[in-house]
């Protein structure tokens, strides 16, 4: 049987991870087909909130402002409360973050947009850049050989075959790509079953204006959550149920309304219920993120409890990471060994995210599970801006085992994110973050020009405040080699010697 379609990359799934991957592959000129079995992007608000790092990624796609606009009205930050009801007894205020506008660590602020706003933005931009994304098209089988992957897909027009160099499994929590590759997964597994109710009601008198207020609710009638969204009057309420005794069908609109009245302390509330869906809170980590030519991203690779707000953010992070690496390999600018760095970097990160979010879950939802086996909580900023990539695509001293650092005190060691510093480039003030569109050498020492190679972008920079020299720990002599994703790949405080050869360093990093 011949192949009906031929593409470089097939992306299975058009949620946050798949759309991000498709977008950044298309941006690099890679031919990409995205398929989704759903009718369109998510109508459900689901993951709300973008970290500074996520918004930096969106900035590279030219859609940061459009995404951030989706959170307008909630720019005052995030409040998380464990309480009896919206106006009842507060057991614990978990966080009161107000760093939305803090741009000292990034040229971008963090965002408050929800998934139903973000996905259409990513879809539109991916298509603009040349990605083909089709809905109501389901993957039915997958087989790979040494030269590529053959997928069988089904749409309303019938079944057809897609032959691709690589496949990205972005098909979510219950994805089939992982099953086709035989990759297993581990973790605490299913934690809780929830009925999610999306509804409209005017609750302005109950919630803090300008802030996203997330309530973990515990009272004699139910356990659940309540959160506002960036759509006026739109809110999401979830109720936990025990699948041994009940099912989601036991929660029709009438019962949900009764419980909502208890949650909001508004006995007369008449919510306009838009959707009632069942979903599971779970914690899973796939044993591998790659099987040959197939890569897992987002929820297909790991499922994290939402208690950390990182499911959506890491979906975007995974999609971006595999996209730039695949693009380099497919364009012949890097060797296939660069692809090994995807699992090496993203899986330990996913583990930290799942563990940290599980620790939050125990603290906020299930104190009875507390014990020595529960992982430690992780600082949010350290995790999102201070995480270290460790793989063959960074040159780290083996004795230096640190996995995270405080991004406010960056060390500039390889593997960490290159810090945001305002510098003067071509007479204009720019953030260093915007310089890393390709492999880039950051230095204030002109003698490095003789040691560099044409494929290495070496901008001429001035550093009027000495901040670059200090935060990049390069002084006026050294240099830092930064990857296209803004991660420090190699670093020295020394000037070049006559034998310094950055070509060899670059070849090693790119597995050429
Ligand atoms: C009710 C709910 C609330 C949530 N709240 C939060 C939150 O507050 N914070 C947070 O960070 N995260 C939250 N999450 C999790 C967050 O939504 C996910 O982490 C995120 O959607 C993962 O994105 P993804 O692209 O990996 O997968 P998904 O968004 O699940 O997308 C999967 C895609 O794969 C497609 N697909 C599946 N199977 C096939 C197939 N066989 N063939 C073709 N296509 C297929 C689907 O159509 C879809 O396009 C929530 C999730 C739910 C369900």
Domain boundaries, the chain: 5-72+109-186+283-342, 188-282, 418-509
* 173 CA from centroid of ligand 1 (Å): 7
Query: What pLDDT was estimated at residue 72?
Result: 80
Does any ligand 1 atom lie closer than 6 A to the CB of residue 38? yes
Ligand 1 within 6 A of CB of 308: no
- 3: closest CA among 166, 161, 167? 161
User: Does ligand 1 come within 6 angstroms of the Cβ of 176?
Assistant: yes
Contact 442, 456 (CB under 8 A): no
| pLDDT at residue 401 in the model | 93
CATH code of the domain occupying 5-72+109-186+283-342 = 3.50.50.60
Written out in words, the top-level CATH class of the domain with range 418-509 is: alpha beta
- Residue 211: band (very low, low, confident or very high) from pLDDT cuts 50, 70, 90: confident
Q: Please say if the pLDDT value at position 101 is more than 80.
A: no
Question: 436 exposed, middle or buried (CB, 10 Å; 0-12, 13-18, 19+)?
Answer: buried
pLDDT for residue 417:
98
279 lines ligand 1 (CB under 6 A): yes
Angle subtended by helix axes 16-27 and 311-330, to nearest 10: 30
Distance 15 CA to ligand 1 centre (A): 6
pLDDT tens-digit map of 229-282: 878 899 999 999 999 999 999 999 999 999 999 999 999 999 999 999 998 999
CA-238 nearest atom, ligand 1: 1
Residue 100 confidence (pLDDT): 63
Per-residue pLDDT at 98: 60
Ligand 1: which atom is nearest the Cα of residue 137?
43
Judged against a pLDDT cut of 60, whether residue 1 lies above it is answered with no
Across the range 59-80, mean pLDDT stands at: 89
More confident residue, 229 or 39: 39
Which of 82-91, 100-109, 140-149 is modeled with the greatest confidence? 140-149
Per-residue pLDDT band at 99 (split at 50, 70, 90):
low
Q: Residue 136: CB partners within 8 Å, gap ≥ 6? A: 36, 37, 38, 39, 155, 156
User: In testing the pocket of ligand 1, which one of 315, 350, 380 has its CB within 8 Å of the most ligand atoms?
Assistant: 315
Q: Residues with Cβ < 8 Å from 134, sequence gap 6 or more? A: 33, 34, 35, 36, 155
Centroid of ligand 1 to alpha carbon of 35 (angstroms): 14
| Distance from Cα 141 to the centre of ligand 1, integer Å | 20
Q: Is 418 in the pocket of ligand 1 (CB under 6 A)?
A: no
- Output the pLDDT for position 73: 75
Tell me which of 49, 53, 171 to substitute to probe ligand 1's pocket, judged by most ligand atoms within 8 Å of the beta carbon: 171
- Over range 122-141, report the average pLDDT: 98
More confident residue, 2 or 308: 308
Same CATH topology for 188-282 and 418-509: the answer is no
Pocket test for ligand 1, best of 10, 12, 15 (most atoms within 8 A of CB): 15
- For range 51-59, the mean pLDDT: 96
Enzyme catalytic residues? 216
pLDDT of residue 439: 97
Per-residue pLDDT of 401-425, as tens digits, reads 999 999 999 999 999 999 999 999 9
Paired with 141 in beta bridges are: 152
Determine whether the shortest distance from the Cβ of 46 to ligand 1 is under 6 A.
yes
Is the pLDDT at 445 greater than 80, yes or no? yes
pLDDT band, very low/low/confident/very high, at 450 (cuts 50, 70, 90): confident
Residue whose token pair is 């990409």: 32
Helices (H) and strands (E) in the chain, counts: 11, 24
Average pLDDT over residues 205-219: 83
Could you give the CA distance from residue 174 to residue 310 in angstroms, rounded to a whole number?
A: 18
Average pLDDT, the chain: 94
- Going by alpha carbons, the residue nearest to atom 4 of ligand 1 is 46
Residue 308 has pLDDT above 60, yes or no: yes
Tell me which fold the domain 188-282 belongs to. D-Amino Acid Oxidase; Chain A, domain 2 (3.30.9)
| Rounded average pLDDT over 55-72 | 95
pLDDT: which is higher, 495 or 369? 495
């Amino acid at each position: 049987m011949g192949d009906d379609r031929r593409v470089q990359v097939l992306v299975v799934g058009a949620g946050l991870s798949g759309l991000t991957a498709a977008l950044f592959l298309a941006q690099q000129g890679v031919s990409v087909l995205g398929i989704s079995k759903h009718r369109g992007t998510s109508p459900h608000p689901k993951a709300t909130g973008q970290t500074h790092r996520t918004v930096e990624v969106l900035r590279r796609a030219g859609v940061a402002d459009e995404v951030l606009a989706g959170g307008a009205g909630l720019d005052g930050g995030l409040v998380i409360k464990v309480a009896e009801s919206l106006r009842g007894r507060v057991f614990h205020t978990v966080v009161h973050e107000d760093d939305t506008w803090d741009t000292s660590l990034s040229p971008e602020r963090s965002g408050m947009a929800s998934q139903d706003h973000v996905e259409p933005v990513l879809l539109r931009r991916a298509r603009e850049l040349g990605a083909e994304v089709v809905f109501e098209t389901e993957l039915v089988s997958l087989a790979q050989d040494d030269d590529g992957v053959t997928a069988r897909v089904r749409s309303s027009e019938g079944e057809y075959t897609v032959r691709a160099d690589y496949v990205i499994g972005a098909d979510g929590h219950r994805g089939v790509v992982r099953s086709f590759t035989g990759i297993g997964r581990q973790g605490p597994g299913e934690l809780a079953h929830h009925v999610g109710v999306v509804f409209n009601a005017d609750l302005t008198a109950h919630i803090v204006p300008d802030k996203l207020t997330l309530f973990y609710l515990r009272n004699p009638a139910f356990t659940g959550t309540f959160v506002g969204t960036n759509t006026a009057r739109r809110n999401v309420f979830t109720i936990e149920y025990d699948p041994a005794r009940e099912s989601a069908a036991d929660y029709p609109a009438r019962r949900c309304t009764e419980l909502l009245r208890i949650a909001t302390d508004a006995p007369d509330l008449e919510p306009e219920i838009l959707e009632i869906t069942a979903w599971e809170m779970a914690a899973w980590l796939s044993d591998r993120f790659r099987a040959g030519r197939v890569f897992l991203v987002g929820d297909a690779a790991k499922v994290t409890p939402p208690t950390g707000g990182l499911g959506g953010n890491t979906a975007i992070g995974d999609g971006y990471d595999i996209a730039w690496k695949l693009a380099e390999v497919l364009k012949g600018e890097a060797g296939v060994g660069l692809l090994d760095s995807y699992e090496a970097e993203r899986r330990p990160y996913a583990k930290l995210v799942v563990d940290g979010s599980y620790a939050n879950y125990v603290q906020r939802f299930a104190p009875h599970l507390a014990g020595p086996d529960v992982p430690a909580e992780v600082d949010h900023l350290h995790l999102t801006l201070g995480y270290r990539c460790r793989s063959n695509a960074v040159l780290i001293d083996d004795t230096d085992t640190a996995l995270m650092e405080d991004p406010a005190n960056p060390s500039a060691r390889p593997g960490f994110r290159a810090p945001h510093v305002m510098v003067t480039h071509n007479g204009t003030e720019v953030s260093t973050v915007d310089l890393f569109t390709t492999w880039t050498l950051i230095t204030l020492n002109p003698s490095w020009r003789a040691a560099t190679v044409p494929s290495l972008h070496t901008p001429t920079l001035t550093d009027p405040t000495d901040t670059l020299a200090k935060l990049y720990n390069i002084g006026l002599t050294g240099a830092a080699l930064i990857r296209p994703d803004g991660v420090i790949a190699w670093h020295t405080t020394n000037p070049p010697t006559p034998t310094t050869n950055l070509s060899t360093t670059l070849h090693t990093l790119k597995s050429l």
